């Protein structure tokens, strides 16, 4: 069973978010379904988004909210869930709910590289409108917001420097941009290391085999 971004309840909620619906969790879920799930052997079900109560036993659940892991307390009614977290700190915060796996964020590097182009612009913030005030942006810059993913990648590729975190930071690095910090929670851009989704699948398989007692 795969519970993902196509779940009607999730899709309805996603449609109400306006420009903020172009978030990392949605696109990460799409790539998990396309590149990670087909390359991981397991009898567990998959939950790739926070379905707020819609789950199943014996599942792998991807945690997207690193700030408020309490939003996953609804999982207590299910048994044997493995939580996949993109930050080690989130693994610690959510460990009381079940077993955890640290899996760094990943992107489809092959598709992102296709948007590389000559850089003719200097600095831009790239991301959701509700994130631009999380920290301090030094000096003048352009703002890339309210854009579908393909348009965002095309726009980002033209800049030498990008203010970004999470998947945006990974995509910016893949496009050859220098990543600048703007979020106080992530003061060091080096935390974002480019990892291809296919390689992430291999890491997940190894960690999952350790939990399920299979030969590695």
Mind listing the pLDDT tens digit for each residue in 54-67? 889 999 999 987 77
Beta carbons of 77 and 24 less than 8 angstroms apart = no
Beta carbons of 156 and 175 less than 8 angstroms apart = yes
Segment among 1-10, 15-24, 37-46, 142-151 with least mean pLDDT: 15-24
**DSSP helix/strand/coil, 31:** helix
- Break the chain into its structural domains and give their ranges: 2-106+195-211, 109-191
The pLDDT confidence band at residue 216, using thresholds 50, 70 and 90, is very low
Beta carbons of 58 and 79 less than 8 angstroms apart = yes
pLDDT of residue 57: 94
Distances (CA, A) of 77 to 52, 88, 156, 196: 12, 24, 42, 33
Q: What is the DSSP string of 54-89?
A: ---SSEEEE---SS-GGGGGGGGGSSSEEEEESSHH
Mind listing the pLDDT tens digit for each residue in 178-195? 999 888 878 888 889 999
pLDDT of residue 6: 74
* Mean pLDDT calculated for residue range 139-153: 89
């Amino acid at each position: 069973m795969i519970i993902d971004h196509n779940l009607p309840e999730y899709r309805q909620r996603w449609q109400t978010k306006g420009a903020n619906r172009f978030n990392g969790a949605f696109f990460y879920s799409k790539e998990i379904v396309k590149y990670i799930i087909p390359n991981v052997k397991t009898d567990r079900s998959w939950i790739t988004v926070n379905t707020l109560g819609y789950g199943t036993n014996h599942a792998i659940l991807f945690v997207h909210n690193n700030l408020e892991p309490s939003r996953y307390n609804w999982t207590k009614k299910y048994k044997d869930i493995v939580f996949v977290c993109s930050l080690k700190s989130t693994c610690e915060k959510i460990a009381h709910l079940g077993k955890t796996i640290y899996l760094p964020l990943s992107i489809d590097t092959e598709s992102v590289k296709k948007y590389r182009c000559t850089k003719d612009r200097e600095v831009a913030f790239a991301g959701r409108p509700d994130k631009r005030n999380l920290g301090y942006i030094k000096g003048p810059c352009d703002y890339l917001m309210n854009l579908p993913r393909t348009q965002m990648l095309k726009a980002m590729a033209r800049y030498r420097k990008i203010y970004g975190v999470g998947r945006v930071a990974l995509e910016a690095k893949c496009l050859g941009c220098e990543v600048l910090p703007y979020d106080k929670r992530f003061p060091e851009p080096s935390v974002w290391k480019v990892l291809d989704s296919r390689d992430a699948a291999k890491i997940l398989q190894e960690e999952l085999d350790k939990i399920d007692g299979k030969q590695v």
